[in-house]
Structures are given as structure tokens and as C-alpha cells.
Structure 1
């Protein structure tokens, strides 16, 4: 099948109300797009019958799910946010804040501060969810270009339609750079591990909430949807314990610092930092005769909305 997938995305001012979108300013370049165009709860009809067989159902609580990936790259200008960072607004991030030589992405304490409206195009199928919220996960693997994975849930204000693909206008941003010694630096407590891969998962879990008079997508704290699962995984060559050992920090759950920077030059950099990384127990494996460590981690806030510091520059 031809891959004619693309998306338009824009932050909402009022939850569930889609602003006007334009291809020239709102096209998002995505790949591996796997939408679920219409999801329902089924309410079986309960009328008694004198004969056996299946009963019809009423479809209720319609919503949409949109799962896709996108390249992680800079905008080309240190103080201009790359377009993919709009997806952060669906995951309890506030508006981007340009500074002198970078852009900061502040975290929020409530989902009330952010949601997206989308136009999703999959071949001739067009979907227009509003009130979109969900999770983002970032993947950095040596030798590969980095990417993000989105898993979004949205309202179903209108059923999908058949519409010929339009003419998306992709942002003129620099191409993604591969994760490498030249382009990437990574350190825990100032020690530069020999890194195979690094992932950051925002850990957001959504639920569809439907009441008479109002529907919305919420971050469900009963499912650890309020950043309690913020963390990820590190795969790296195990350092000589005589040089650097993390076992004591793991044993005592002593926090360590995280510093990650990807991008070769100004306008192409993505930074991730935390002062409270809690490593989980290490598992070992062999790679080309070298001992490798795999460690999951969580990022714990040091103050309100300082769980992780995300920047582009």
C-alpha cells in the first residue's frame, strides 16, 4: 500500500475546540502511522427474545486513537522550536519558551493546560480528532536517527471521511542526525558511559471520560498517568567497577544526575537533563565479547514541575 500518511496538528486554546489549521504552518512529518479511526464501548440490546442467537449492540462513547512516529531534529535556529515539539502539548507540557540561545519546554501540573487538535490523513481516509492527549516516548540508538513515538487518544467530533490527500507542506528543518560519538554525549553523575541506546518515556496514560454534558480525555492517576512512570532505559557497556560503579546508588536508591545532548551544531540540538535519576537493578548481556548493562530508570521531581529538563538549541 502506498504510504500517503501525514498529519496536521495545532494546540487547542479551548479544550475540544479545533482551531483552523493550514498546511503551510501545521503539517507534521510522521511515519508508521497506525490510527484506530473509531473506538466504541458496546452496549448490548437487552430485549428478551423467544429464539437464540446474537444480539445487536449500541455503540457508545466514540473516540479515536492515533499511534505514529516522528523524527527528532532541530529547527535550524536555536531559538525556534522544531515543529515536532507541538506533540509535547498533548503530554502535560506548556507552551515553548524561547530563551537567548535555546528553547525550554516547561512541564505542567495539570492536563488542563494542554491538548491538541489533529487532522490525520491515511491514504484517502481523513480523521479530525479534537481534545487529543497521550504519551510520547523518545528513542536514541547508536547508528540510527532518533525518533519519537506518540500514542494519542482523542474525541470523535465527526466520523472519518473519504477525502483525497491534499498537499502537505513540510517544515524546512535540517535532517535528523544519527546518534554517534560525533553528534551525541551522555553522562550519569558526570561519567560518560559507552552508550548503545537511551530511551525516555513520559509515562502518560490516558482514559476517556464521558458524562452527560461533557466528554474529555484525561490523564488517569489511577493508571499512573500523572508522570509517575516518567523514565526509560539505558543500554551501555558496563564500566570497570574499579573505575565507576553504580551498584551502591542502586542499592541505596541514591539519585544520580543525567545529562544527554544530541546534535552536532546550533539549531540541531536536543537536550535532556535531570538531577534525580533513580536507577533500577542492572541486567547483563554479551555483545561482541563485551559485557553490557541494561538499566531501567525513573526521573523524580526535585520541585514542582522539575522532573526533567527538555531543551532544543
Structure 2
């Protein structure tokens, strides 16, 4: 019997105990696209034996783990103050989730008590279970496109198994809005509204799988947050990224997408340092700046390089 590639179900559930399968069910289904799985990563130790035949003597697979990447549409839960299904995935990327009932859900970076998820990916009746899952993410909002969160995860290895494709329950997951002038009402750098073609906040967590005797864990060891935006160039008297870069200016960056309560996403980096503009682009006959900024904490101990607020 053929195993169909397009018959995919991805489930995700927070783990109570790190590395112990949280047994997600159909109600934990994630609507994902562009799923890419590397099912058996690791190393092969060459035995390198001296033998009469002088040929290969076999290898031993070690440090087995699994990686997966996919995209999720960037939209709220549909109800203000209710976390979206993909919130648990951000929590596995070193983020805290703060819920204010009937009002808002806020995500920001944290450095301790890091959480993890279990992922179950079933493709055509083969289950690829992943435990101890942690990773990184990026938020991508481009004009005339669907806004996405791009996830990349590393997981401890679990042997694949023949398991029937589960029934996925996507109840309550709202449709996304395309990024447009009407649907994305706010984009500013240093409180200056700019015409924006694309925006991307990349968390760039450093993800490392550790395999020791007595402990195997996927670690998040630092990060390299960046904001990239391609914007319409304006008079330097209005907005001067060159002077900002030369003077190491730290400026606020904000983008808001969505129009109705329960589906409004606001991403803010209050203290982002402008980097050197290294090029110019032709945007349909108009000069555009590819800008890059590095979100910094407002104080040495703050975890406020960026926040994402859903209302």
C-alpha cells in the first residue's frame, strides 16, 4: 500500500516532564505548511578496524536526533485573551506566554525555566514522534502575502512506528488576513511611518542537542535577534538610517497586523539598534532601503528586546 505524502497531521503539546511524551491528541493539531523533516540526524562512528580484507568495518550511529521545520499562519486565536494554538510552539522557543483574560496574550523572551513540547508528525500512517523539542522562530510579514511564523525545531530521537493517521481537530483556528495597507495599519521605525514591502523578526536561537551519560537534552544557548525590513526610501530630513547607524542609535520598531478583536498582532522592539545600510533596491521603479536592526534590551537585565501582543 502506498503511503501518501500529503496525508500529514502535526500535533503539539507542552511537556510536563522534559523528554517525556506528552501524548498529544487531535485537539492539539497544528495547521502547518511547508513541513520539512530530517528523521534521523546524528553521527556515524567509523570502527576503523584492521582486518585482512582491508575494507570498511562498519559504523555505529550515535547522537540520534530529529529536526523539523514548518510555517504556521500568523493570526490570533479569534478571541482576545485566549492563546492561539501555536502559542505552545513559541513557548518551546524560549518565550513566555502571559494571558490576561478577555484582553490580551503577550509573548516575550525568557532565559530560565525553558519549556519544551512533544511533536507527533504522522505522514501516511507513519508516526514520527519527537520529544524534548525546542527551537527557534521568525515572524514574516510581507506585502500581498500571508504572514507566517517560521519554526525550526530539534528533538530527541524516537523510532518511527506504524500508526493510523489521527483525526485532526482545527476547531477555533481563524483564517489569516493577507498583509496589506488595509489589514496592516501600523509600521513604524523611530515612530516614523514608512511604506514597507517586507518585515521579518528572526529570533535566531542557538539550538544544540547535547548527548551526555545521564542527560540528553536540546539546549537553547543564546540568541541573535534581528529585524529586517525593506522600506520605501524617503528624504533624509524625514528619516536617516545612515546617521542612525553611524551614531549607534537605538530606536523603536513596531508593526501591527489585523483589524478585529481576537485577531490583532502587534510586534514591538522598543530598543533596536540600526545597522549599516549596505545597499539600495529597485522596488517597481522606486528606491527602497533594505534595513537591518538588532533588538536590544532596555536594561541589562530586561527581557524586552521584543514583545508580541495579541488583542
Under a length normalisation based on structure 2, what TM-score does the superposition of the two structures give?
Answer: 0.93
In structure 2, C-alpha distance between the alignment counterparts of 1:21 and 1:204, rounded to whole Å: 25
- Following superposition, the deviation at residue 2 of structure 1 comes to 4.5
Residue 9 (structure 2) aligns with: 6
- Following superposition, the deviation at residue 18 of structure 1 comes to 2.1
In structure 2, C-alpha distance between the alignment counterparts of 1:147 and 1:6, rounded to whole Å: 19
- Following superposition, the deviation at residue 44 of structure 1 comes to 1.0
One of 77, 80, 93 as aligned partner of 2:79: 77
Within 5 Å, give how 1:152-171 maps onto structure 2. Answer: 152-156=153-157, 158-171=158-171
Q: Which runs of 5+ in 1 are unaligned?
A: 221-225
Residue 106 (structure 2) aligns with: 104
Q: How many residues align?
A: 304
Secondary structure of 2:145 counterpart = coil
Deviations 1:124-171 (A, max 9, x none): 321111110111111100001101111100111x30112231211113
CA 1:10/1:198 → structure 2, altered by over 3 Å: closer, same or farther? same
- Following superposition, the deviation at residue 253 of structure 1 comes to 0.9
User: Is this contact kept in 2: 1:95–1:105, CA < 8 A?
Assistant: yes
Within 5 Å, give how 1:111-122 maps onto structure 2. Answer: 112-122=113-123
Within 5 Å, give how 1:70-219 maps onto structure 2. Answer: 70-98=72-100, 101-110=103-112, 112-156=113-157, 158-184=158-184, 185-219=186-220
Under a length normalisation based on structure 1, what TM-score does the superposition of the two structures give?
Answer: 0.93
User: Is this contact kept in 2: 1:67–1:152, CA < 8 A?
Assistant: yes
User: Is this contact kept in 2: 1:83–1:171, CA < 8 A?
Assistant: no
**Structure 1 runs (4+) greater than 4 angstroms displaced:** none
Tell me which moved more, 172-181 or 50-59: 50-59
Tell me which moved more, 170-179 or 90-99: 90-99
CA 1:99/1:308 → structure 2, altered by over 3 Å: closer, same or farther? farther
In structure 2, C-alpha distance between the alignment counterparts of 1:288 and 1:69, rounded to whole Å: 28
Residue 20 (structure 1) aligns with: 23
Tell me which moved more, 269-278 or 192-201: 269-278
What's the RMSD between the two structures over aligned residues?
1.5
In structure 2, C-alpha distance between the alignment counterparts of 1:52 and 1:117, rounded to whole Å: 45
In structure 1, C-alpha distance between the alignment counterparts of 2:163 and 2:26, rounded to whole Å: 15
User: Is this contact kept in 2: 1:5–1:31, CA < 8 A?
Assistant: no
- Following superposition, the deviation at residue 99 of structure 1 comes to 5.0
In structure 2, C-alpha distance between the alignment counterparts of 1:96 and 1:66, rounded to whole Å: 26
User: Is this contact kept in 2: 1:137–1:148, CA < 8 A?
Assistant: yes
Residue 257 (structure 2) aligns with: 262
User: Is this contact kept in 2: 1:270–1:311, CA < 8 A?
Assistant: yes
